[in-house]
Structure 1
Amino acid sequence: MQNKPKYSFLKNWKYALDGLITAIKTESSFKLELFCAVFIIIGILYIDTSLTNKLILLITGILVLIVELINSAIENVVDLCTKEIHPLAKNAKDIGSTAVMFSIGLHIVCWVWILFN
């Protein structure tokens, strides 16, 4: 049995919006990062730098949100598979968190490089 619906552009958009709504409702880290993104975007609009630098900051900021969503998906799948504390389950969650940490670090480095260069 295949759990894959027939492709439909509009249905895929609905699935994506359902995922975003679920993330906003259930994932506190994503909510915090989305809240911070509002201020980051305002900051990007007001800093005196080139359009290229502003795009770098915007893209790395969006990257943080994307990686957080992927991490949340990994955590949900792990929780679905097992409620036990298993070394592989812990590794999967920890590695996903590391990816989030790296994306935030990249974003911070870009801000520092652009502001002080």
Structure 2
Amino acid sequence: MKQNKKEQFKGRVRDWAEKLEIEIHIIAIRPMKRKWASCSTSGILTFDTNVLDLNPELQDYIVVHELLHFKIPNHGKLWKCLMRAHLGDYEKQEDELKEIFTAWKMAAAQVSNEA
């Protein structure tokens, strides 16, 4: 089941990369403590394993966010315009992801305090 989720998600990433005309070389999925995803100038995209459990709309936000960084390395006006062009009102997903991430960090901290 988990492998199927992983392959479906990687297919989603490849579809967005093709749509945005961005060449990616590696899609990695592994636990990350501080963020949902990262990208490198060498075409490597790394996603947190928790992304697989998010709904498709939130996955799309994370994927498009990272892919756009291959062309625009900051969160300036152009990046925001492209996010809006591809995802519409992306701030809603951004806020929801912040809430989820905060809840997961709090839960993880509680577990480590109990150990």
Instruction: Please classify the TM superposition score into its range, dividing by the shorter chain length.
Output: 0.3 to 0.5
Larger radius of gyration: 1
Between structures 1 and 2, the one with greater strand share? 2
Q: RCO higher in 1 or 2 (8 Å CA, sep ≥ 6)?
A: 1
For normalisation by structure 2, the TM-score amounts to 0.38
